[in-house]
A and B are shown apart, each in its own frame.
Chain A
Amino acid sequence: MADKITSPDQLLARAQQAQADLDLRQGRKDTQVTVHMGTCGIAAGARDVVATFMTEMSAAGVTSASLHQTGCAGLCEEEPMATITAADGTLYRYGLLDKDKVHTIVINHLVGGTPVDAYLIKT
């Protein structure tokens, strides 16, 4: 999801954004966003999902959640996947993610507090 960089200014902006994203994600917060990055997840686009979460969480000013990665969850057909762990321990597993879905999840779930039922994995 990273756009093609065509100038030194864009390089610098991307680096500064990355530093801001890292600062934002220091430590483990009450709410945790964990992207599954096993071989299946990576092949399905998990790296872009992480990058989009970084960008969207930063843009939305989310400071109450931290971003992490883990391996395969055993639901390879649902990759790329992310699990949001709420402060009370409730797990929300989202599957078949793309850039637009991540945007919606950040706005509705992380900012608004309402899980996006349509993207949750039904088991």
Chain B
Amino acid sequence: MHDLSLFLLDIIENSVRAGATRIRVGVAADRAADSLEITVEDDGPGLPVTPREALDPFYTTKKGKKTGLGLSLFRQAAEAAGGGLSVGRSTDLGGVAVRAWMGLGNVDRPPLGDVATSILTMVATNQEVAFAVDLVDGDECTSLRGSELPQRLPALVAYQEGLT
């Protein structure tokens, strides 16, 4: 994966494929603490396996496949940038919660990439799913909800261009 927005897209796709009807995406930067956190939570059925199995690249729940690389690749990228990745249960939505964190200024952090296009493509192709996006930069928080996302695209683009 070239950048974090592609990892994000992959994790959102996992939620959609699991049958989630509500998906909440968070991107939070804290320049003072030198941290960047990306979260995806859903109201799907939850993990059918243990978190350890979910992060094993040679384990997948997909029939006919022998590998499940998405989460493990994301974890590898986060760890390389001084962070990590956890998978568990979403306390708010009841499904899966994926949280990745890393050093904002770490030289090995992948660029944020085009988060706006990742979100937009998932919104456009999964209209039965209610998306919510929270963008945090220090004390500033921008929340985008469902049908307003396309109109608020400039806010997404401005956010990602402020971080890169």
If A50-B124, A69-B125 touch, whether A37 touches B151 (CB-CB below 8 Å) is no
Q: In residues 83-141 of chain B, which contact A (Cβ within 8 Å)?
A: 114, 117-118, 120-127
0/1 interface trace, chain B 134-157, chain A, CB 8 Å (1 if under): 000000000000000011111001
Q: How many A-B residue pairs have CB under 8 A?
A: 84
- Tell yes or no: B13 within 8 A of A by CB: yes
Q: Is the CB of B152 within 8 A of A71?
A: no
0/1 interface trace, chain A 41-61, chain B, CB 8 Å (1 if under): 011000100110010000000
Q: Distance in Å from the Cβ of B135 to the closest Cβ of chain A? A: 15
Q: Is the CB of A39 within 8 A of B120?
A: no
Q: In residues 7-30 of chain A, which contact B (Cβ within 8 Å)?
A: 8, 11-12, 14-15, 18-19, 21-22, 25-27
Q: Is the CB of A71 within 8 A of B13?
A: yes
Q: Is the CB of B9 within 8 A of A42?
A: yes
Q: Is the CB of A42 within 8 A of B13?
A: yes
- Please give the number of chain A residues whose Cβ is less than 8 angstroms from any Cβ of chain B in the complex: 31
Q: Distance in Å from the Cβ of A52 to the closest Cβ of chain B? A: 10
Interface residues on B, range: 20 to 34
Q: Is the CB of A69 within 8 A of B121?
A: yes
CB-CB under 8 A from B161, the residues of chain A are 5
Taking Cβ atoms with an 8 Å cutoff, the residues of B that contact A are 1, 6, 9-10, 13, 16-17, 62, 64-65, 69-70, 73, 114, 117-118, 120-127, 150-154, 157-158, 161
A24, closest chain B residue (CB): B124
Chain B facing A: main interface SS? helix
CB-CB under 8 A from A43, the residues of chain B are 1, 6
Q: How far is A47 from B151 in the complex, measured between Cα atoms in Å?
A: 20
Q: How far is A39 from B126 in the complex, measured between Cα atoms in Å?
A: 17
Taking Cβ atoms with an 8 Å cutoff, the residues of A that contact B are 2, 5, 8, 11-12, 14-15, 18-19, 21-22, 25-27, 35, 37-39, 42-43, 47, 50-51, 54, 67-72, 74
Q: Is the CB of B121 within 8 A of A47?
A: yes
CB-CB under 8 A from A8, the residues of chain B are 154
24 contacts between A and B (CB under 8 A): A2-B114, A2-B117, A5-B161, A11-B153, A14-B154, A14-B157, A18-B153, A19-B150, A19-B151, A22-B150, A25-B124, A25-B127, A37-B9, A37-B10, A38-B13, A38-B70, A42-B1, A43-B1, A50-B124, A54-B121, A68-B125, A69-B122, A69-B125, A72-B62
